[in-house]
Structures are given as structure tokens and as C-alpha cells.
A and B are shown apart, each in its own frame.
Chain A
Amino acid sequence: MRFVDEFRDAEKARALASKIAGLCAPGRSYKFMEVCGGHTHTIYKHGLEDYLPEQVQLVHGPGCPVCVIPMGRVDDAIHIARQPDVLMTSFGDMMRVPGSGGNFFDSNAEGTSIRMVYSPLDSLKIARQNPDRQVVFMAIGFETTAPSTAMTLLRAAAEGLENFSVFCNHVTIVPAIKAILDSPDLRLDGFIGPGHVSTVIGCRPYEFIAAEYGKPVVVAGFEPLDILQSIYMLMLQLHEGRSVVENQYSRVVPWAGNPVALRVINQTMQLRPYFEWRGLGFISHSALRVRDEYAAFDAEARFQLPGLRVADPKACQCGEVLKGVLKPWECKVFGTACTPETPIGTCMVSPEGACAAYYNFGRFSRKRVQEVSIG
């Protein structure tokens, strides 16, 4: 298939892999964080780690929007869905994220109407078709999905829809990366930068990582060769003693991002003073809420929310996994008490979550498998 197979060429992968191996200094190990959950998914889905020398390790970062939603926000959403005449819409990924009393599927089994949509604009259609219901869109995601929520708010305002609002849980990536960089128990050699987020915010916001923390950043695409090439570019920077932001995904990501998308986000949303991230705790200026001018479409203004903070289950080590301190399988409950069917932590829910990706795709001894596959 065109535009896909070119980026999955095993021969090119082998060539890149040997160049990466050639840049490994003897006795040194390299740890790179892929910030974005989309990258994590690609890495596991295509078995990309099989190409990396043992010295090069990938750490799976916090860029899975579902994985960073704290339980309290899920509870708040279910609380809204339980109000009379409410019809909630949500991306499919959110449906299985556990709150303190169950997930959206469980809530539907008890009588709520939480429907899956592929685009927030579909929620507007549902609102028009159901004038006697209050339609609430559960908005999640980084800067990647925030523009479509912003466009939905603008359109709802233009149409004067009275039965539509947004429960805004959008988060921003840079404060999370900064929190990780400031975390004392982490040693990283560079970042594979989030490609989709960068189509919106561009590459400039990462410059402090290279300049102040001295860690190279390469913004990467989502096909396996993109990621392999980005690792090569990171290795090359380290080899040459450089530390800059580079753009591997230039076929999609403009250096300055997408000014129109940034403008509509800014027009409809503003930074919250702080927001709780699952596993990472409270991070200041790390999330967006609906601007006061659009309060009529803000579910937080329209409904009374319990807003209770729910502590993560004690056994869950999502935070350490999100920061890359622990590998998924090193978590105490990984694969036993916490599985994709019965996730305790959100890293196990979304296909982009590090734990789910590892459990679904990578849960086997690589050495033994290589023997089997060859034999």
C-alpha cells in the first residue's frame, strides 16, 4: 500500500540498525524516551526493538492522553452522565478507563448513555438530532486533539446550540516533559519528540530541552522507519557532541507549527493554574479549560461536579512507568492484578499505554522467540 509500505521496509530498517549499532560507544548505554503514546504503539506493533542493540533502550513517556487522566476526572464524567437527560460522547479509548466505581461501559450498563464518537464534531450532530437531551463531549488529548475541540466550540457558538457542552480535559505536553526532566530518579540521553503534537505547536517549544538540559530532541513520525531514523539522528547528535532540536517528520511538521490551530485553541481555551496528571501528580499550567467567553458550552460551568480527588491505587506504579523509571513488567501488579481486561492503572488501558502495548505485543522472552522464529 502506497505511503505506508515505504515506511516499513525491512531492508532499510536493517541498514539503519547497523548505522545505529556503529555509533554505540563501547561500554556505554543509551536511554531515549519516546514521549508520545503513538510511538510506543508503533514500536511494539512492529517489533522495532528487535533492531536495536542491547545498549540502546527506549523509555515510554507520558504522551498517552488516556493514561494521564486521573480517576477523579473519570468519576466527574460519570457524574455528569448520570444527570437527567444527559447524553455523553467520548472517544473509544476513554470507554475502558477505570474511575473509582467502574468505567464508562459499566456506567452504561447501569443506565447512562455514553456514546463513542470519532470526532467531536459528531457530538454536534448528535446534539442537533436530540434537542431534548443535554449532549456533553468528554474532551481529552494533547494539543493534537485540542484544535478539533476548539472548532467544535466555535461551531456550537455560531449555531447557538443550547444543548451542547464540553467537559474539557485537554493537557499540554511541554510542562509534562519538564516535570520528567526535573524528576531526580531519571537518566535520559535524549527525546523522540511527539510528531502529532508538533504539527500543532511546532518544534520551537522543545528548544529549552536541548539548550537548558543538554538533551537532544528529534521530532519523529509514526511509521517504524521514522522512529528508527530518529534514534539514528539522536545517536549521531550524541556522537558528535551536539544537542539541538531536529525535525525528522518534516513531511508533516512545520517548524513553526500550525498558527491557525494555535489561534482557535487560544480563542476558546485558557491554561488552568494547575491540573492533576495520573501518576505525575499536580503540574502547573499543564491543562486547558474552556474560556469564560464560552462558559455556556463548558460542562464544568453547567453541571455541579463533585471534583473529588481520588488517589491512585497503592499497588499501581503508573507514575514510575510514565516517567520511565520502571519498565512496564517491573511494576508489582503488571499482568497479574493489572491486565488490559481489568486495568488498575491507565497505562494498561489505551493501546498507546506503555503497559498495554507491552502486555499485548511484547510479553515474551525475546531471546527464546528469536530461536523459535528462526527454527
Chain B
Amino acid sequence: MIDREQQVLDRIERQRRRPAKVREERITLSHGSGGKASHTLVEAVFLEAFGNPLLAPLEDAARLRVGDARLALTTDSYVVSPLFFPGGDIGDLAVNGTVNDLAVSGATPLYLTCGFILEEGFPIADLTRIVASMRAAADRAGVMIVTGDTKVVQRGKADGCYVNTAGIGILEGSAELGVSAVQPGDAILVSGPIGEHGVTIMLARGELDIEADLVSDTAPLNGVIAELLAATSGVHAMRDATRGGVATILNEMAVDAQVSVIVDEDAIPVKAEVRGASELLGIDPLYVACEGRFVAAVAGDQAAAALTALRKHPLGAEAAVIGRVAGDQPGMVLLNTAFGGTRIVDMLVGDPLPRIC
């Protein structure tokens, strides 16, 4: 029976490796969830049209060479609802998110752009508040917002305020970071407890009648990442755990590097409030977004040094080694459950979650 089951499993793996194809005729909310449908859309529509060697790795930021300088470039749009939530608002989210995409690519973030799409009737006071928190976040991260754009659309054509930011950073040092560099023997680290941003937003929407003492984890990661990179040369890849959560990043590592990732549920830091809310809502914290946490794959013999470096920084104080990379079962993420069993952690399938970033 095992043999027959294995044949079926092999057939499924072949199926999963086929090129992505969008089956829907229209955009659905699943395409924005950060899970499988989003990946399919990016690969089948955008990569298909724009395809070039700089875009192809689909990293958080593109790595460019301009003259003698090596640069990283990224962009992100923010549509979070509500605009203001415990621990932050759309403004600092928009700065931190772009700073973090640059930082996990190994770049030092330098300059940001910002674009606003505003709905007719949006209060100027709210806009002022958002912009002030962008300025504060930029100061905290040590970047400048140097150019921007504003558009206003008719009432009902947008939900108050959408923000886009782009960022540019400089790549120093020689290490080529990227998920395809993840290799068997690496240790997997997270920089702190997971899922706080996503759960905070879900509760802030006020639809669930659950209250918890939680704030978003939104924060700029360039400082803690700079300390990590200074302390060890063993970092192979980093990604910030935004939409789709830690589980999505682990899957991207497993698939792109053709390795397996094995994580221990017991080792994953999750605050009791996040666990409690997740249990009630039937969601898995592994898939819940963070806005100030990242996952790193580090050479096994450097894991202890990396952990020490992370824990020295306030944003990495609760960092942990959560698993390791192996060569068997390529493309799969396996979880040793706290209960003592083993299961797969797959990519998120278009989960109908609210707009969180």
C-alpha cells in the first residue's frame, strides 16, 4: 500500500511543478491573499509579461548594478483596513514594509518614494496623521522620503486612503542572499514572536467581538539585520514574514532551493494572545502576517552566533531557532507538532482574510 500511495504522491509532486496557470476569468480576493493564488497570478501574468533576469528570482527586492554601485529596488502598496490600529497605522506600515523588503535583501535602505490615492471626502486630519507617522517611521529607520505623488478619486471609488511606497538601498559586502541559496544543514531562525500584526488587525476591525491586549509588530528591521550580518557570514537568505506568514516563506525556501524544511512547533515563538485568538478563529499563526519579523536561513554552524546577535537587539530579543533544512523530500515543509506527530505545512490557499497590509 505504501508503494501505491507513494506513486500517487509522486504524481502530485509532478503536477505541482508544472508552470502556473490562472484559471479564473476575473480577479478574486484570493489573488491578493499572498498564498497560492497570488503566486500563480504573479508568475502567470506579471512574470510572463515582464520576464527578465532581474525580476525572475522574485525576491523581495530586485538587485541592480548602476555604474559601480550595487543597488536594491522594491515597491509595495498598502490598503490596510482599518487605517489606524493598535501599534501603528497605514503610514508607518508603508515605510517599514518597504524598508524591510530592502533590509532582508541585504541592502542598506536609503531613499523612499510615496504615492497616495485618496478618496473624495477623506479627512485632512487623518492624512496629516498618516504622513506624520510616515515621517517618524522614516526617521527611525534612517531613510528619507524624497519624492511622491497624489491622486484623488471619486467618493466610493477607493476606501479612504491607499499608499504606495518604493525604496532604494545600497548593497555592500559580497554575500549574495536569496532563497535559492538555502541548503541542507542550514538552521531556520525567526526574529521574534509571530502573527501579532495580522491578529491585531483582525481584532481591530471589530467584527469578532474578541478583545486582546495586542499591538501590531510593525517595525523597521534594517537595524537588527545589520547587526546579524555583521556578526556572522553564514546567512544564506532572509525574508520578512508579511502576507502568508512564516509558513509561506518556509515554502518558498523549500521550493526555490529544492530542499525540505523541518520545523518544531514547540520552538516557534507565539504570544499567548495570538495563540488564543487563533484557536478561537480556527486559523494557524504560521500563516498570519507579521510586519516586523523576518525568517533567516543560516549555516548550521553559525546558528548560535546568529541567535546571539539577534537577541542583542530589542527587535530580536525573542528570536529563536525553529527548524532546519534537509535534502530529503525536496519542496516540502514538515512540522513536528507539539503533540508529537508530523505533518505538512503547505502554502496558504486563498484564505478569505481581511485586508491586513
By a beta-carbon cutoff of 8 Å, the part of chain A in contact with chain B is: 1, 4-5, 8-10, 13-14, 44-51, 92, 95-96, 105-106, 108-110, 116, 118, 122, 224, 329-330, 334-336, 340-342, 351, 359-373, 375
Contact = CB atoms under 8 A, between A and B. Distances in A.
Contact of A224 (B5, B26, B339, B344): B339
A372 B329 contact: yes
A44 B346 CA distance: 13
Contacts of A9: 339
A280 to B, nearest CB: 24
**A49, A362, A372: residue with the most chain B Cβ atoms closer than 10 Å:** A372
B12 A335 contact: yes
Contacts of B208: 118
B24 interface: yes
A10 B36 CA distance: 32
A55 B318 CA distance: 43
A48 B335 CA distance: 13
Contacts of B328: 368, 371-372
B124 interface: no
B8 interface: yes
A110 B329 contact: no
Interface in B312-350: 326, 328-329, 332, 334-344, 346, 349-350
**B30, B40, B344, B346: residue with the most chain A Cβ atoms closer than 10 Å:** B344
B26 A110 contact: yes
Nearest to A336: B15
A97 B6 CA distance: 28
A340 B336 contact: no
B80 to A, nearest CB: 18
Interface string B25-58: 1111110000011001000000000000000000
A242 B352 CA distance: 46
B344 A335 contact: no
B337 A364 contact: no
Contacts of B329: 364, 368-369, 372
Given A360-B346, A369-B329, A46 B28 contact: no
A52 to B, nearest CB: 10
Contacts of A4: 275, 279
B176 to A, nearest CB: 28
A8 B275 CA distance: 14
B207 A372 contact: no
A89 to B, nearest CB: 12
Given A46-B341, A106-B24, A369-B329, A363 B37 contact: no
A197 to B, nearest CB: 17
B23 interface: yes
**B26, B343, B346: residue with the most chain A Cβ atoms closer than 10 Å:** B343
B342 A370 contact: yes
A70 B225 CA distance: 52
B344 A361 contact: yes
Contacts of B343: 44-47, 361-362
Contacts of A369: 329, 334, 342
Contacts of B337: 45-47
Contacts of B151: none
Nearest 6 pairs between A and B by C-beta? A47-B341, A335-B12, A10-B340, A109-B26, A105-B28, A46-B339
Interface in B1-16: 2, 5-6, 8-9, 11-12, 15
B268 to A, nearest CB: 14
Contact of B12 (A14, A106, A336, A342): A336
Given A105-B29, A336-B11, 17 more contacts: A4-B275, A10-B338, A14-B340, A45-B343, A46-B337, A47-B335, A47-B337, A47-B343, A108-B29, A109-B26, A224-B339, A334-B8, A341-B349, A360-B349, A361-B346, A364-B9, A365-B5
A50 B349 contact: no
B199 to A, nearest CB: 14
A8 B341 CA distance: 11
A108 B28 contact: yes
17 contacts: A1-B279, A8-B338, A10-B338, A13-B339, A46-B337, A47-B335, A105-B350, A106-B25, A108-B29, A109-B24, A118-B208, A334-B8, A335-B11, A360-B344, A363-B12, A364-B9, A369-B329
Contacts of A373: 262, 334, 336, 342
B260 interface: yes
B29 A329 contact: no
Contact of A50 (B2, B30, B260, B341): B341
A335 B340 CA distance: 26
A50 B342 contact: yes
A139 B334 CA distance: 36
Contacts of A45: 337, 343
**B262, B328, B336, B341: residue with the most chain A Cβ atoms closer than 10 Å:** B341
Given A369-B334, A372-B329, A329 B5 contact: yes
Nearest to A2: B272
B276 interface: yes
B317 to A, nearest CB: 21
B349 A340 contact: yes
Interface string B251-276: 00000000010100000000010011
**B5, B6, B339: residue with the most chain A Cβ atoms closer than 10 Å:** B339
Interface in B69-114: none
Nearest to B8: A329
A254 B146 CA distance: 66
A48 B341 CA distance: 6
Contacts of A8: 338-339
Contact of B262 (A10, A330, A351, A372): A372
Contact of A47 (B282, B340, B352): B340
Nearest to B260: A372
B334 A341 contact: no
Nearest to A328: B8
Nearest to A44: B343
Given A1-B275, A373-B262, A364 B344 contact: yes
B245 to A, nearest CB: 15
Given A8-B338, A47-B341, A50-B342, A106 B9 contact: no
Nearest to A14: B340
B340 A51 contact: yes
Contacts of A359: 346
Nearest to B342: A47
Given A48-B341, A363-B9, A341 B37 contact: yes
Contacts of B40: 341
Contacts of B11: 335-336
A46 B350 CA distance: 22
